[in-house]
């Protein structure tokens, strides 16, 4: 259709040029006296024509083919039926008309401008435009709407037919299953409702545009979705009525039906979702406000503590390494077999980590464009992912993997505490040195690390688990409660809407978004430093992939664990076979790829905040 329109536009321009040349270089005496025309065409009101916008034009300015009256009386004129007549003087409007749906349906200029001989200059009153459109189109719904009533009352700020569909370039609305259709249902509305001056003049709040753009619907629509609800999907295109009106599509009594257009089996509870809620508005939405404050406080508090911890560690570790190099003295562990591998992680541990790593990266990569939909990189990333719907499908697969490894982890915890034969009771296992649950020893380790950070003590030795590793482990449980719980609610909103009020989904969106930001920011900064970027580990610690580490490293970092195993006489049971070189190579490729993706993601997060 676009190609056809362009072709027609080219033909129009060429025809206009040729016709202009004909008039310009036509034979002498080609002009016809207008009085001669009126002798036959007495149905035309000469006085009205003289006062019209065309009054200064001669008759054959439009009827340019009439150059010989005798011939004209025999053959007549064809120009009044040709749109090229108008386009010679109105090229811009002509070009728009040629590419419009009107032209494709053989609707010519005169079909709307039927009073061509008496037409006056448009006074800007939109009511006249509406009247023209309603000559062919049914406008009952529009005239009853808040837009139609305002236009009828003389408010030129209100939307008329042309404000949404244009005057001359009237495009087809298109296929409802396309993004262009959805975009039309939002961008057209935003053209006026995002105009702060116009809305302030008419006492209409602009918060609806901002909240829509920050909502799931708005973000997905901006990223190319062909299914996300636009303004007109909820408020309708023509029957826009106040929410208090019983006939309004957004009246509380009609909301379940309106939402049910997209969300099958939606309930009244589901329809209580607040589509334009502002979580920064303490007065109107106190629950959302305090949820936002709580999540923001959690973000700021967590990052403040752990980034400061990381900064102190980085400074002390690298300074300590420099001091050792300058002094030439190193504290070495006396180990006869420095390269002999010892098992630290079982195959089960490594499998859980790989599942966690892959699913986490998948969740972050597919979630970031939605979190920062207004960032300039978001559409490109979403396009690489195959669009918002494919990205959403991948996101849900990764969520399923997350629930899988979490279930396996919980199952192992239950086995370890209740069934694993260690000769210890449940509480001894829970608070013992082999447990990932915090105990009093962790407080001593934290105190020792801070003293070392400040240069007031030696670097402490650890048992099997460090306090930061325990924090990482327990954070998974909190994350599953916050991210996983809210994610499931947003995954199956119709189901949860049967017994939960709709505003709970607004809370879930805030929690899910901010907790995901906390998790990704923590993993890609704090966890990456603790595991990979500190001295002795940079550029990557491969133990989680190979499951083993040399005895020298075990002695230096986990001295208390090593001593405990030696005292119990079971250290040799941890001796493992060296991993296959191909396994090591594959592990390095996987590890460095994951590390690179994480660093790119944290860069995009920083860019997203700057763009926002």
* pTM as predicted: 0.85
CB 87 within 8 A of CB 94: yes
Residue 539: other Cβ atoms inside 10 A: 10
Per-residue tokens: 107:
């609707």
| The pLDDT of residue 450 | 96
Element (H, E) at 343: strand 341-343
Does 468 share its domain with 591?
yes
Other Cβ atoms within 10 Å of 142 Cβ, number: 23
Q: Is residue 149 part of a domain?
A: no
Residue 22 shares a structural domain with residue 109: yes
- Nearest by Cα to 218 from 182, 192, 191: 182
For 581, the enclosing helix (H) or strand (E) is helix 581-611
Instruction: Please tell me whether residues 441 and 513 are part of one structural domain.
Output: yes
93/179 same-domain check: no
Whether 405 and 453 map to the same domain: the answer is yes
Task: Give the tokens for residue 359.
Answer: 């699913």
Q: Which of 61, 92, 121 is the last residue of a domain?
A: 121
CATH number of the domain bearing residue 526: 1.20.950.20
The DSSP string of 121-132 is: PP-S-HHHHHHH
Q: Does 413 lie in the same domain as 478?
A: yes
Same domain for 344 and 211, yes or no, is no
CA atoms of 149 and 154, how far apart (whole Å): 9
Of 93, 121, 149, which residue sits at a domain end?
121
Query: Residue 504 domain-assigned?
Result: yes
549: helix, coil or strand? strand
- Specify the pLDDT at position 334: 54
pLDDT attached to residue 331: 56
Please tell me whether residues 214 and 182 are part of one structural domain. yes
Which residue carries 């302030």 as its tokens?
200
> 338-370: string of b/e by CB count within 10 Å (b at 16+)?
eeebbbbbeeeebebebbbbbbbbbbbbbbbbb
The answer on 46 and 190 residing in a single domain is no
Determine the pLDDT at residue 114: 83
What's the CA gap between 119 and 254, in Å, rounded? 45
Residue 159 in domain: no
3 state SS of 475: helix
Give ∠ CA 482-350-602 in degrees, rounded to 5. Answer: 50
**What whole-number distance in Å separates Cα of residue 396 and Cα of residue 123?**
56
Report DSSP letters for 4-50, one per residue. HHHHHHHHHHHHHHHHHHHHHHPPTT-S--HHHHHHH-TTS-HHHHH
Look up residue 485 and give its DSSP letter: H
Under-50 pLDDT residues of the chain: 1-6, 8, 10-12, 15-29
Q: So what's the pLDDT on residue 24?
A: 39
Measured in degrees and rounded to the nearest 5, phi and psi for residue 539 equal -90, -10
User: What is the distance of C-alpha 163 from the center of its chain?
Assistant: 27
Q: Which two tokens stand for residue 183?
A: 């975009």
Range of the domain at 70: 2-121
Q: Does some domain include residue 234?
A: yes
Contact 554, 344 (CB under 8 A): yes
Locate the DSSP E strands across 47-162. Answer: none
Q: Which residues pair with 549 in a beta bridge?
A: 342
Domain boundary among 121, 154, 181: 121
Kindly state whether residues 467 and 581 are assigned to the same domain: yes
Question: Does 224 share its domain with 294?
Answer: no
In-domain check, residue 130: no
Q: Can you tell me whether residue 585 is helix, strand or coil?
A: helix
Q: Report if residue 458 sits inside a domain.
A: yes
Centre a 10 Å sphere on the Cβ of residue 44 and count the other Cβ atoms it contains.
14
End-to-end Cα, the chain, rounded Å: 38
Examine the domain organization and report whether 445 and 592 are in the same domain: yes
| Residue 380 zone, left/alpha/beta (φ > 0; ψ -120 to 50; rest) | alpha
Residue 190 located in a structural domain: yes
Is 331 inside a domain boundary?
A: no
Domain count, the chain: 3
């Amino acid at each position: 259709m676009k190609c056809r329109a362009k072709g027609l536009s080219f033909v129009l321009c060429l025809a206009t040029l040729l016709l202009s040349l004909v008039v310009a270089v036509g034979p002498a005496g080609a002009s016809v006296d207008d009085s001669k025309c009126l002798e036959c065409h007495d149905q035309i009101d000469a006085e009205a024509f003289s006062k019209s916008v065309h009054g200064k034009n001669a008759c054959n300015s439009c009827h340019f083919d009439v150059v010989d009256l005798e011939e004209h009386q025999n053959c007549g004129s064809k120009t009044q039926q040709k749109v090229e007549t108008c386009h010679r003087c109105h090229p811009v409007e002509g070009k728009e008309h040629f590419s419009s749906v009107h032209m494709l349906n053989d609707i010519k200029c005169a079909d709307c401008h039927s009073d061509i001989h008496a037409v006056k200059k448009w006074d800007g009153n939109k009511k006249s435009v509406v009247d023209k459109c309603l000559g062919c189109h049914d406008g009952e719904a529009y005239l009853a709407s808040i837009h139609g009533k305002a236009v009828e009352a003389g408010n030129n700020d209100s939307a008329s037919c042309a404000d949404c569909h244009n005057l001359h370039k009237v495009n087809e609305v298109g296929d409802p299953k396309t993004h262009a259709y959805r975009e039309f249902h939002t961008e057209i509305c935003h053209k006026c409702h995002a105009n702060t001056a116009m809305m302030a003049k008419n006492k209409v709040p602009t918060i609806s545009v901002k909240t829509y753009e920050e909502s799931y619907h708005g973000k997905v629509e901006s990223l190319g979705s062909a299914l996300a609800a636009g303004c007109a999907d909820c408020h309708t295109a023509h029957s826009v009525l106040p929410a208090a009106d019983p006939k309004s599509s957004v009246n509380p009594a009609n909301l379940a039906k309106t939402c049910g257009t997209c969300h099958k089996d939606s309930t009244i509870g589901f329809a209580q979702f607040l589509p334009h809620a502002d979580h920064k508005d303490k007065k109107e939405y106190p629950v959302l406000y305090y949820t936002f404050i709580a999540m923001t406080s959690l973000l700021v508090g967590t990052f403040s503590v752990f980034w400061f911890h990381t900064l102190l560690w980085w400074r002390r570790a690298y300074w300590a390494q420099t001091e050792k190099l300058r002094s030439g003295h190193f504290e070495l562990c006396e180990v006869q077999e420095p390269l002999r591998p010892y098992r630290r992680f079982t195959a089960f541990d490594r499998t859980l980590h790989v599942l966690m790593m892959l699913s986490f990266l998948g969740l972050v990569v597919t979630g970031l464009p939605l979190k920062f939909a207004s960032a300039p990189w978001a559409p490109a990333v979403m396009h690489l992912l195959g669009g918002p719907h494919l990205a959403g499908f991948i996101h849900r697969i990764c969520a399923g993997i997350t629930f899988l490894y979490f279930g396996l982890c919980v199952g192992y915890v239950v086995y370890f505490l209740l069934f694993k034969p260690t000769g210890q009771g449940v509480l001894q296992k829970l608070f013992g040195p082999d447990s990932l649950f915090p105990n009093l020893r962790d407080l001593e380790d934290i105190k020792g690390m801070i003293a070392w950070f400040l240069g007031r003590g030696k670097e402490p030795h650890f048992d099997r688990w460090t306090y930061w590793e325990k924090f990482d482990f327990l954070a998974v449980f909190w994350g599953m409660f916050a991210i996983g719980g809210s994610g499931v609610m947003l995954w199956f909103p119709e189901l949860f809407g049967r017994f939960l009020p709709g505003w709970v989904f607004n809370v879930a969106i805030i929690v899910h978004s901010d907790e995901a930001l906390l998790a990704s920011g923590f993993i890609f900064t704090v966890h990456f430093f603790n595991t990979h970027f500190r001295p002795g580990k940079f550029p990557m610690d491969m133990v989680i992939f190979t499951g083993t580490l040399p005895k020298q490293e075990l002695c230096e970092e986990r001295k208390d664990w090593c001593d405990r195993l030696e005292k119990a006489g079971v250290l040799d049971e941890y001796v493992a076979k060296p991993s296959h070189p191909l396994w090591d190579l594959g592990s390095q490729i996987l590890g460095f790829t994951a590390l690179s993706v994480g660093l790119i993601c944290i860069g995009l997060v920083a860019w997203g905040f700057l763009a926002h």
